Structure 1
């Protein structure tokens, strides 16, 4: 998206909006639709994806990075999410992803407007992530107790 906004008269604000990140959502959707075929290959694809991800961040070739970064990141996130015990129950018991999405954005925007990310990036990242996880957990538990339903993939099927 930065390439498109630079070469056209589109506003640079689009660099931080959905069109700029749709490839990341699409990569996740590929795992949602074709996961059964991709999951057996995660162990094989993880290390090359991680190495390529590092190289893409170091060399930053615009078109190649925009094409391969979402795919490599998806393989790494899926592998770690499915193979690290700390993440074992996230998504299996309850899907926190949408709650995290809803909670983190306003918090991140507050920190951006206050300049916290520029002054203390580590604090800002951990604060946004920690608060988002805590709020998402509390929101999901409240919803489950109030409505007696579980929002996960099995409930949708």
Structure 2
């Protein structure tokens, strides 16, 4: 029984030493590649801004293509308080926006978590590659209005 307790204590001590060494390696790697880490952080912020910007631009283009303007309230609470007419698609749009925000919060949490767990050059290269890939995809969506055309194909409409 004492051997089991001793082995458990050694296992915990070794695990602690491994985590300490990984933290030291992460700090060393961060000090060697500060610009790369900062560039990744800036790229992730730009990815989020471009994604929400593409959503806003798509909505503006949809509004521009339907010239019949009928003013309706999109906020359900404000519609109840002020006796305004609620837009029929208000709740699904707000729900989609909240879901999109939660997805981005989860992605941002994962990025920050794994950014602090990078302790090898290979891990840094993989993380930079993933950030560049998402930056290109979201940049294409923002600048080329890619999401608008995908939405038109998915939900019908003429192109």
- Specify if TM > 0.5: no
Compare CA radii of gyration and give the structure with the larger one.
2
Provide TM-score, normalisation by structure 1: 0.23
TM-score by length of 2: 0.23
Structure number with the bigger relative contact order (C-alpha 8 A, sep ≥ 6) is 2
